[in-house]
Structure 1
Amino acid sequence: MERKLAAILFADVVGFSRLVGRNETKTLADLKAHRDDLVDPQIAEHGGRIVKTTGDGVLTEFPSVVAAVECAVAIQRAMVDRNRNVPQNERIEFRIGVNLGEVVVEDDDIFGEGVNIASRLEGIAEPGMICVSGAVFSEVKSRVDFHFEDLGAQTLKNIAEAVHAYRVVPSGSGPEPQYAIWTDEVLPTPKKPSIAILPFANLSDDPEHDYLADGLRLGIQAALIHASGLFLIGAGTVKRYRDANLMTADQAGRKMGVHYVLQGAVQRSGQRIRVTLELTDVMARQIIWAERFDRLLDDALTVQDEITAEVLKSLDIKLASGEKWLLHTTITNLEALDPFYRGLSYFYAGTREGNAAARDMFEAVTCLQPDSPVGPAYLCFTYWTDAFRGWAHTKEESLVQATLWAEKAIKLQGSNGLAHIVLASVHLQNRNHDEALATCYKAVEIRPNCPTANSYLANVLFYCGRPAEAIAKIHEAIRITPVFPPWYMTLLAAAYRDDGQFGKSISAAEHSLRLNPDDRDARLVLCSGYSLVGQHQQARKVAQQIVAIEPQFSLARYAETQPYKDVGALTLLVDSLKAAGLPQ
């Protein structure tokens, strides 16, 4: 008998016997459809081999452990969408376990402890989730764009030694989770016209031209973000739904709760570009507008404006007074166009390296067209991002640079509102609450469809002692970008707490920790919430976790970072944490 090292995936249906007992014919038909349309094709696409099926389960081996994990994630993500309109008690949901270990091969079958561990890991996974072994985690942790929650050593049935297990968390990228992707909430369609702009395809032979496709899309997005008569889904959400392989026009529209979806393709040949676009009515499932633009590359800005105008016309959006000028870029020097598009593509990658590369591009834009606010606005945002993502050499210097460029952008005619967000954040850190609030309101006035502007207004409202308004604003930000950073949920939890809605606060903080298990601030909200409702044992337990994460934590230093306008609110918060046992 042959022995070999293999990546093993074991998937099983949750509550299969119950489903069969309820309606055998429908359950078996639904399972077959999921297998035929999703599971088996995904396994094949990722290079896997189905070893055997067990009625409701499937055992698969992969030559690559990365492929096994990516296949598992692709299946679970797609199942969320497939189950969206299915009643809870009729849904087919999978648990998946993945292991890397030695197996015994006999004919086409595999067995042994490596297979058994995968099966047992599946058994401890939650419905719709994935559980992997420590061996898998060690191999893939720096090679996949997922986060992992450490479940510790697990005693598994008929396995002699405890197995270290991890849960794949469907949020974020790498070790620093950034976004919540798997939401099972059916999003309501807004009353006003709503749209999502899908990433444009690059049809050129050279993948280096991806930046042009991304830049055109983001340029149109940046123009439409100012239209108050339109509900526009955030660019970050669209990108991550695309990354989750859910990005047909109909799927995107239903997933994000919008009326319309714009999709397109860009092809460059020498100095000529061709842009092909389709605007789809999601509910009617038909294309309501399609156009092809053949232009010289020098006319890219004109094409961008023409597309923006056509979208507004097709959606019958009447611009409010003063909005029209905001729909046109203030970049008129065509030499600045290339670094601007490249900078957008780098910036929205959301990585430290991308942020640094974007800064270089926006510096070039500023040099090529010093009278435009676009370069300074995005420059200040890169410095601000460095400071608040912990990427700066010194946070203070980055904030100084962010402030300087923000003030320059605001002084220039045609400021797009990004600089106002940065300046409001700096005002808040300096405890200039009235200035922070006024500046943030201006940012939302200029950028009504911007989730960042709305979320930072919520943050300022929270620290200004207006938690009810903060709750409303953070909900607006989440609706604009259903794929949202976990800190949105942490802020919502804190606002609920300060508004006296302690049950909702605790639930939101727990949700935030599911998205990002390493979030110290979410634990602080949870700890204070438990303390304020008298659940002192739970509060002390969370306090111990906080000290384990940050051994040097002190309430005095934490209080210095909390720019509350009302000192009494800060005192109440600190006292609740002190009662839980956190060090002074």
Structure 2
Amino acid sequence: MERRLTAILAADVVGYSTLMGEDEVGTLERLKSCRRELIDPAIKEFRGRMIKLMGDGALVEFASVVDAVQCAAAIQRRMAVRDQDTSDSRHIRFRIGVNLGDVIVEENDIYGDGVNIAARLESMAEPGGVCISGTAFDHAVHKVDVGFASLGGQRLKNIADPVRAYRLLLDPAASGKVVDAPHRPGSRVMILASVAALAFAVLAGIFAWHKFSAPLRPSVAVLPFANLGGDPGQDYFADGITEDLITDLTKLSGLDVIARNSVFAYKDKPAALADVASDLGVRFVVEGSVRRTGEQIRLNAQLIDTATGDNLWANRFDRGMAGVFAVQDEMSGEIAKALGMQPSAAESEHMARPPTENLEAYDFYLRAEQTARTGRRDGLREALTLYDKTEELDPAFAEAFAADAATTVYIWRASFNDILQSAPARKRAYEKASRALQLDPDLSSPYAILGVMQVVDRRYEEAIASAEQAVALGPGDAETQIALGYVQLYAGNHAEAAAAVDMALRLDPSLSAVNREVAGLVFLVQGNNGKAVATLERACDDAPAVGDFRITLAAAYARAGRLPDAKAAIIEGLRLMPTPGYDSLSSWRLAGAQYRNARDSGLIIDALQQAGLPEWPFGFTGDERNRLKGQEIVSLVLGHTLQGQLEPGHQPAILQIGKDGKAAFRSTTRLVTETVYVNRDLLCEQSENMFGRPDCGPVYKRSDDASNGYSFANSSKVFHFAVVK
């Protein structure tokens, strides 16, 4: 049995039986003509699908509730001016109901309460009018050129719970208005019922006051603003409005704001606001639309209390492009006021500060952010280029420098040396974060970045202090919470790490795959294997082309006792690497040196070993019978030049080593100055790369090489060489 969420339009002819009784042939001809010339074209225009025609009505399905409401309004407006010279007694008029609801699909028909509610609303509509449900209203308000009159909660036949209903105001002068319908005088019974309802409402209000005036913080989700301009190329602008509003609201210390990743899961996907509230764990929802025409913008927005269905605030802004950031400031201030919040002077000043005056820079910034969130190495590389363009266009764009630093520090801590070598990545991250703080000392993200870098440097207490400062400046920012979780993970504070990532997941149930990997590691080290598996599986689902996440998932599978799944994840992860096979236990050991407690990194490495991750890159193994001892390595390499090829692909490379161990390694893609030395039976390279840590590995005599060749492997390379001088 298939189910889906869909928009349903139900229509019927007013007084059909009477019309047929008076003029059966004429009524049928007029009705057929009406369908052929008006109704069918309108359904096609708004991308509807006719489910079935009855003698006096129709049932139509739409993928978009906005399209369904627009179609209903168009039909009724066109019908109002059709056949005006026909006598009123013969005039065909429709009632229309529209609902957004769950339906059961069987062959070409649909069933269920979603359809029944549309039919009941149709019967409530006035002749020539349209009645829609609250779920339809929630998605259509401010997105269609009609007004709405609230009819309150309605008891509908065979529907268990009251349904919010709205009447469309089709007069163009009412477009954009949302009004309460006038109360109709009722009987004594209705008055008594109203008194009882009022008493119940008072009790409910007392309960709600106690519930929501308790120390619980208000929570809000800002849904992606719809782009009504008709140009998909302007989506970035509507997205930017949404993201900046989220950013401004997170600056309010008493408000929990759902992060960008989670709300953008609803972009272009109709969903009932009650479901959104339940899924995201919020009471309040902001939604709106943006229309950009040349240098003019029109922005509509509303704030809805999902517990009651009430519109707490709504406004429309018509401005020139130069005033776009002033509109955002005004909007965030009005929403804060509607939520009963009084921003501090510092919060108000920070909210009023535009991120940039340069819209071209803003465009590059948005594209960089979108690309960086993928976690793909090619995406990360492209993001750095886009940030460079942003900063060149606006050297005072603090948020761009902070985002650049965040992406760079991820590249650095993940040892993605094929994107940016460790030393320049570290330098870039520090410089960008410092510049961001110079431009805006109240930004939280640079402190989070600093905390991550300090923990990698094993400066644990400083790292915790920096991450806590980030959270203090941005308590409602999921990124700062995940940074605190990362720092506490490597500092060995498992409970604190779990609390931080739980808060991050609360603020952003759809965490980016990059951040979800951090959460999965926290749960893994904490010993919550089931939660680790679920979290890391979601990261892989969200970023199916990123091999690194599958390697981490393999460790979780192994810890959960799912070895076949773990081995399969290793195979798939290595296949997805940009350079297939470029991951190994040796690289995890080197990166694991940042854990304060060796047992934490050991737990992960043991799991990966069980899963079948090779010891060295590209699955290299040497014959232990041909492995060189320490003194043999010293005699072979110190003071000599080694020339050969790198795996994979036999890329030419050369390693020149002085007698004092000062060395330079060159290939077609790398140039590194370093120190080379021998530690026991291992050859070690140490440079500013790889966090400044020694990267050591064995040297083997190649028994299959007649030219006295050797092989050297560590976490970053497999080098087949011969001594040339």
Aligned to 1:425: 452
Question: Taking structure 1 as reference, are residues 498 and 92 closer, same or farther at Cα in structure 2, changes over 3 Å only?
Answer: farther
Q: Does 1:465 align with 2:488?
A: no
Q: Are the equivalent residues in 2 in contact too, given 1:231–1:449 (CA < 8 A)?
A: yes
Question: Taking structure 1 as reference, are residues 553 and 305 closer, same or farther at Cα in structure 2, changes over 3 Å only?
Answer: closer
Q: Does 1:569 align with 2:600?
A: yes
Q: Report deviation, 1:404.
A: 0.9
SS of corresponding position for 1:323: helix
Q: Does 1:374 align with 2:399?
A: yes
CA distance in 1, matches of 2:264, 2:6: 27
Q: Does 1:440 align with 2:470?
A: no
Q: 1:300 aligns with which of 315, 319, 324?
A: 324
Aligned to 2:252: 227
CA distance in 2, matches of 1:35, 1:375: 39
Q: Report deviation, 1:313.
A: 0.2
When normalised by structure 1's length, the TM-score is: 0.59
Q: How far does the alpha carbon of each residue in 1:245-274 deviate from its partner, in whole angstroms, 9 at most, with x for none?
A: 134544433432321221222333444333
Q: Does 1:485 align with 2:512?
A: yes
Q: Are the equivalent residues in 2 in contact too, given 1:490–1:521 (CA < 8 A)?
A: no
Aligned to 2:315: 291
The within-5 A match list for 1:2-151 is 12=1
The within-5 A match list for 1:117-516 is 191-204=216-229, 206-243=231-268, 245-247=269-271, 249-319=273-343, 322-329=346-353, 331=355, 334=357, 336-340=358-362, 343-344=365-366, 347-348=369-370, 350=373, 352=379, 355=383, 358-367=386-395, 370=396, 373-384=398-409, 393-396=419-422, 397-486=424-513, 488=515, 490-502=517-529, 504-505=531-532
**Is there any run of 5+ residues in structure 1 with no aligned partner, and where?**
1-11, 14-30, 39-43, 51-80, 84-90, 95-187
- The one-letter amino acid of 2:349's match is W
Aligned to 2:550: 520
CA distance in 2, matches of 1:458, 1:225: 19
CA distance in 1, matches of 2:469, 2:564: 42
CA distance in 2, matches of 1:296, 1:35: 36
Aligned to 2:676: none
- The one-letter amino acid of 2:323's match is D
Q: Are the equivalent residues in 1 in contact too, given 2:570–2:611 (CA < 8 A)?
A: no
CA distance in 2, matches of 1:93, 1:223: 43
Q: How far does the alpha carbon of each residue in 1:119-138 deviate from its partner, in whole angstroms, 9 at most, with x for none?
A: xxxxxxxxxxxxxxxxxxxx
Q: Report deviation, 1:325.
A: 2.9
Q: Report deviation, 1:239.
A: 1.3
Question: Taking structure 1 as reference, are residues 289 and 434 closer, same or farther at Cα in structure 2, changes over 3 Å only?
Answer: same
Q: Report deviation, 1:529.
A: 1.6
**Is there any run of 5+ residues in structure 2 with no aligned partner, and where?**
10-44, 52-99, 107-210, 575-580, 616-725
Aligned to 1:559: 589
Question: Taking structure 1 as reference, are residues 504 and 541 closer, same or farther at Cα in structure 2, changes over 3 Å only?
Answer: closer
Q: Report deviation, 1:520.
A: 3.0
Q: Are the equivalent residues in 2 in contact too, given 1:330–1:414 (CA < 8 A)?
A: no
Q: Report deviation, 1:326.
A: 2.4
| Higher RCO (C-alpha 8 Å, min separation 6) | 1
Aligned to 1:25: none
- The one-letter amino acid of 1:394's match is L
CA distance in 2, matches of 1:582, 1:382: 27
Question: Taking structure 1 as reference, are residues 483 and 209 closer, same or farther at Cα in structure 2, changes over 3 Å only?
Answer: same
CA distance in 1, matches of 2:602, 2:5: 54
When normalised by structure 2's length, the TM-score is: 0.49
Question: Taking structure 1 as reference, are residues 576 and 48 closer, same or farther at Cα in structure 2, changes over 3 Å only?
Answer: same
Aligned to 1:120: none
CA distance in 2, matches of 1:228, 1:251: 26
Q: Are the equivalent residues in 2 in contact too, given 1:330–1:373 (CA < 8 A)?
A: no
Q: How far does the alpha carbon of each residue in 1:281-319 deviate from its partner, in whole angstroms, 9 at most, with x for none?
A: 222123221112233332222211111110100001233
Q: How far does the alpha carbon of each residue in 1:383-406 deviate from its partner, in whole angstroms, 9 at most, with x for none?
A: 446666969732433443222111
Question: Taking structure 1 as reference, are residues 514 and 354 closer, same or farther at Cα in structure 2, changes over 3 Å only?
Answer: closer
Q: Report deviation, 1:578.
A: 4.5
Question: Taking structure 1 as reference, are residues 392 and 302 closer, same or farther at Cα in structure 2, changes over 3 Å only?
Answer: farther
Q: Report deviation, 1:435.
A: 3.0
CA distance in 2, matches of 1:231, 1:216: 19
- The one-letter amino acid of 1:522's match is T
SS of corresponding position for 1:258: coil
- The one-letter amino acid of 1:233's match is I
Question: Taking structure 1 as reference, are residues 285 and 431 closer, same or farther at Cα in structure 2, changes over 3 Å only?
Answer: same
Q: Are the equivalent residues in 2 in contact too, given 1:218–1:344 (CA < 8 A)?
A: no
Question: Taking structure 1 as reference, are residues 577 and 257 closer, same or farther at Cα in structure 2, changes over 3 Å only?
Answer: closer
- The one-letter amino acid of 1:566's match is N
CA distance in 2, matches of 1:432, 1:240: 37
- The one-letter amino acid of 2:566's match is V
Deviates more, 1:215-224 or 1:337-346: 337-346
Return the index of the structure with the highest Cα Rg.
2
Q: How far does the alpha carbon of each residue in 1:408-430 deviate from its partner, in whole angstroms, 9 at most, with x for none?
A: 11233444222233333333333
CA distance in 2, matches of 1:249, 1:508: 26
SS of corresponding position for 2:511: coil
- The one-letter amino acid of 2:601's match is L
Aligned to 2:559: 529
Q: Report deviation, 1:229.
A: 0.8
Q: Report deviation, 1:214.
A: 2.7
Question: Taking structure 1 as reference, are residues 270 and 432 closer, same or farther at Cα in structure 2, changes over 3 Å only?
Answer: same
SS of corresponding position for 1:522: helix
- The one-letter amino acid of 1:495's match is V
Q: Are the equivalent residues in 2 in contact too, given 1:254–1:282 (CA < 8 A)?
A: no
Q: Report deviation, 1:525.
A: 2.7
Cα RMSD for the two superposed structures: 4.2
CA distance in 1, matches of 2:310, 2:245: 22
- The one-letter amino acid of 1:284's match is T
Q: Are the equivalent residues in 1 in contact too, given 2:238–2:289 (CA < 8 A)?
A: yes
Q: Report deviation, 1:205.
A: 5.6
How high is the sequence identity, in percent, across the aligned residues? 25
Question: Taking structure 1 as reference, are residues 258 and 272 closer, same or farther at Cα in structure 2, changes over 3 Å only?
Answer: same
Question: Taking structure 1 as reference, are residues 308 and 526 closer, same or farther at Cα in structure 2, changes over 3 Å only?
Answer: same
Question: Taking structure 1 as reference, are residues 195 and 409 closer, same or farther at Cα in structure 2, changes over 3 Å only?
Answer: same
Q: Report deviation, 1:216.
A: 2.5
Question: Taking structure 1 as reference, are residues 578 and 412 closer, same or farther at Cα in structure 2, changes over 3 Å only?
Answer: same
Q: Report deviation, 1:223.
A: 1.2
CA distance in 1, matches of 2:322, 2:292: 12
SS of corresponding position for 1:484: coil
- The one-letter amino acid of 1:313's match is K
SS of corresponding position for 1:192: coil
- The one-letter amino acid of 2:429's match is A
